[in-house]
Chains A and B, each alone.
Chain A
Amino acid sequence: MAKNRFAMGGLWVIGIMFSLCFVFAWFCPDPNKINLVNKFAPSSGEHWFGTDALGRDLFARILYGGQVSILVGLIATAVSVAIGIVYGAVSGFAGGKTDAVMMRIVDTLLAIPFLVLVIVLQATLSKWSGDATTWIVESFGWDKEFTGRLTNVVPLFFALGLLGWLTLSRIVRAQVMSIKEREFVEAAVALGYGKGRILFRHVIPNVLGPTVVYSTLTVPGFIMYEAILSFLGLGVESPNSSWGVLIKEGANFLETEIQLLLLPGLFFSLTLFSLNFLGDGLRDALDVKAAKD
């Protein structure tokens, strides 16, 4: 992969985003501190990107918002990929009645609007998040405000991840169905290999390439869903931010203060571009043929 300049560039950008959002953010001013006297301030030494409609530091809000957006993208993708690959592979490999039942379950879930499902699941998961906050604060002595912010978004991550695998599982299933007809799988049966070994050593490694590419494309999707849910008041709770929230807020001042929209948008798109390049690079790296050239 080292030879693919775009992918390496993407990796660098994502690395920088990560360090900005998760390390540099600690040294920024409080992103939620309101100062109505100093609203819509231009860029200055104190406020690098200026301030928003409530006089809050935009740079700090972008970095803190990035934490939520990046984590939503990555955790939801990781959860959905893990479920999607195993579910789709088992369904496609088993075939017959097992496959029919498993796919009808997917169809049923696909038939219900995605956001409705996410909202229901998030509400269910949120019931426990309050208990979890109390438990963490009591057992580990973590800061209450910080823990609250964390447990507030975690149900969202998992709600998205636990439902986002539906399309992926269909893709994996289709791939597996074509791979399992290949002669090397039949040779494995003839050599007396067990079903688990054939599935996990011979079939799944051969479907990883397309899966990885597809899953890097789902990251932006999850970030978007987080923005939509936040807009509905079901995602990130005010005054906390995420890129989706910031873009939405910025859009209100499109005509007068366009930087409020452009700057978070720039961070957002830069990250998405980099993820796509990285996805392409990963596919090549995972492809033994391309890797050797």
Chain B
Amino acid sequence: MSLLDVKNLKTYFHTRAGTTRAVDDVSFSIDKKEIVGVVGESGSGKSVTCHTMLGLLPQPPAKVEGGSVTFDGQELIGLPAPLLRAIRGKRISMVFQDPMSCLNPYLRIVNQVAEPILIHENVSREQAEARAIEMMKKVGIRDAEQRAHSYPHEFSGGMRQRVMIAMSLVTNPDLLLADEPTTALDVTVQARILEILRELRDELGIAVLFVTHDLGVVADVADRVVVMYRGKIVEQGKVRDIFQNPSHPYVKGLLACRPTLETKYRILPTVDDFLKTEDGEDGSTILGERPDAAERLANLEKEQSSENRGRDATETLLDVKGLGVHFHSGGGFLGKPRESVIAVDDVDLIIPKGRTLGLVGESGCGKTTLGRAILRLQQPTTGSVRYDGEELIFLTQEGMLDYRKRMQIIFQDPYASLNPRQTIEQTLIEPLLVHKIGSSRADRRDRVVSLLEEVGLGAEFLLRYPHEFSGGQRQRISVARALAVQPEFVVCDECVSAMDVSVQAQVLNLLRELQDKRNLTYLFISHDLSVVKFMSDEIAVMKQGRIEEFGSANDIYENPQSDYTRELLDAVPRANF
């Protein structure tokens, strides 16, 4: 008998807008000591499945419409709250995505890690704390005895996630539900956490249900995979089988659309190349394979691979020399000593016209600050930025106005980068008005419509507000707004990081297309090495404000010179068997 058995589980959300089938007839099981990965995009129902099992969903609007969840012979659905609480945190525990907000900032680490023991078992505080420290050592926290008495803010993100894991394992549970536990972490940290999870499985004999949107991570850590799409399981099986030989068109699409370090496509395939969706009569979705999928893929492969594109790289557009950005903190009224943080330190970069420079690094390395400093959104402390031969550093804001037209930026969060109170038309017309582009109202309107069409949207969206669009659509609008002033140079600051892989592929393809059509030059900033590799001609690796390594994309990936680059590359989870 398996440890956890989910059978025909259905969780629906009933709202005024109608019924959403968040989890629709889902069945799978987990054996003892097994790591099962549940993969899906946002809205696929993977987290809802997890929360349903532990009765953590707000009801209403959620309602379990049917099915059963059996844990070690006991039915969890409909179990009275006190009994469920006895299981939660004791026999099944959970790790959440954001280690920054999951720890109470006012309590010492040891008290938080020991708390589940004190709740569920009848032991003294000393014993509980001893066990807590023991567990912290197991998850790789060095000097656990001393550090146990620190507060959460004294720990880094990766360390906090280890604390979270220690906290969930301290009661020796049989099953660990991990909901996107590494999504907020850097790749090198993620690699360590995944390793720890595998070790703990072997050592403590726990089973893990690992929920994630990242196929690479699943390939790295799981024994079996369950792939969810729109509330349904589309495919499940051994990791190796699914990655090497997927049978469902959605899974095929999902595997093909993520750029890997080995991708040679010029344009990425998308899920739509494989999957055909139809609306069924009862409101559910019928998924089918596109009959012309093979043909579409062949067409994509015929397109040139990224090496032989016909652009010459002679003329320099952007020349950055010795750029430094220092931030000052403290020096306040009560005389804290003034501290200076060097965010960007003596950076040199050259970007030729029509090419893409990828800037890659972990969080806090200064890559975003560098991008902002080049655009003068942040005043640099030292150095020079020459754009098309002109020095930008000493220009006044009025003097920058001309360059604002020529240099643009696309931000990470499509939810925050559009003014929620402006319609799409207002958003797109405003730059034209400010820069006096277009001769009349009608002319500007035409320009806006053609911009929208260029990014794959239509004139029917003009009068809508940003919240009516999906994340991918919003990012297309942000792209359209940046292109409204007809720039030559665009900084893409983590502009696909918040997206599902299938949407990411579409946006990356769009950026590619626009680059070819308008001969754009990109500074492509990302923490994701595979995406940077796919997009860039040259790559700069950044660490602690400095450029660690700079060279052509292929050289960096095939023959990395610095230890740090090698470490980054090794940490990328890959699905190679």
Contacts and interface: CB of A to CB of B under 8 A. Distances in A.
A288 B405 CA distance: 30
Nearest to B409: A190
A127 interface: no
Nearest to B413: A183
B255 to A, nearest CB: 32
B467 A193 contact: no
A289 B416 CA distance: 14
A191 interface: yes
A187 B419 CA distance: 10
A97 interface: no
B435 interface: yes
Contact of A183 (B416, B421, B435): B416
A191 B478 CA distance: 12
A96 interface: no
Contacts of A182: 416-417
Interface residues of A, number: 21
B195 to A, nearest CB: 35
B435 A190 contact: no
A192 B421 contact: no
Interface string B398-435: 00110011011101110011111110000000110011
B16 to A, nearest CB: 8
Contact of A190 (B17, B375, B412, B419): B375
5 contacts: A184-B416, A187-B417, A190-B377, A193-B434, A206-B421
A110 interface: no
B481 A187 contact: yes
A186 B404 CA distance: 12
Given A192-B401, A288-B465, A292-B468, A186 B411 contact: yes
A205 B421 contact: yes
A193 B430 contact: yes
A192 B417 contact: no
Contact of A191 (B404, B412, B418): B404
Interface in A162-220: 182-184, 186-194, 197, 201-202, 205-206
B465 A289 contact: yes
Contacts of A201: 422, 430
A182 B431 CA distance: 18
Nearest to B434: A193
A29 B467 CA distance: 56
Interface in B350-392: 375, 377
Contact of A187 (B17, B407, B409, B434): B409
Contacts, number: 68
A217 to B, nearest CB: 23
A183 B413 CA distance: 8
Nearest to B401: A192
What 9 A-B pairs come out closest when comparing CB atoms? A192-B404, A183-B417, A183-B411, A183-B416, A205-B421, A184-B419, A288-B465, A191-B431, A190-B409
A293 to B, nearest CB: 8
Interface string B422-457: 100000001100110000000000000000000000
A192 B435 contact: yes
A255 B419 CA distance: 58
B485 interface: yes
Contacts of B421: 205-206, 288
Contacts of A188: 419
Nearest to A291: B465
Contact of B408 (A183, A190, A288, A292): A190
Contacts of B465: 288-289, 292
Place the interface of chain B in its size category.
20 to 34
Nearest to B467: A289
Interface of B: 17, 375, 377, 400-401, 404-405, 407-409, 411-413, 416-422, 430-431, 434-435, 465, 467-468, 478, 481-482, 485
Given A183-B417, A191-B434, 19 more contacts: A183-B416, A184-B418, A187-B411, A187-B478, A187-B482, A190-B404, A190-B407, A191-B485, A192-B401, A192-B404, A192-B435, A192-B485, A193-B430, A193-B431, A194-B434, A206-B419, A289-B465, A292-B467, A293-B17
Contacts of B416: 182-184
A163 B313 CA distance: 64
A182 B415 CA distance: 10
A197 B434 CA distance: 10
Nearest to B426: A201
Contacts of A192: 400-401, 404-405, 431, 434-435, 485
Nearest to B485: A191
A209 to B, nearest CB: 9
Contacts of A183: 411-413, 416-417
A272 B418 CA distance: 37
Nearest to A206: B421
A85 B431 CA distance: 26
A184 B405 CA distance: 17
Contacts of B405: 192
Interface string A60-103: 00000000000000000000000000000000000000000000
A182 B420 CA distance: 11
B236 to A, nearest CB: 37
A194 B414 CA distance: 23
Contacts of B412: 183
Nearest to A185: B419
Given A191-B434, A192-B435, A197-B434, A288 B419 contact: no
A183, A184, A190: most-surrounded residue (chain B CB, <10 A): A190
A208 to B, nearest CB: 8
Nearest to B417: A183
Nearest to B16: A293
Nearest to B421: A205
Nearest to A195: B397
Contacts of A184: 416-419
Nearest to A205: B421
Contact of B377 (A186, A193, A205, A288): A186
A108 B419 CA distance: 35
A184 B428 CA distance: 12
B467 A288 contact: yes
Contacts of B419: 184, 188, 202, 205-206
Interface in A274-293: 288-289, 292-293
Task: Give the residue among B431, B468, B485 with the most A Cβ atoms within 10 A.
Answer: B431
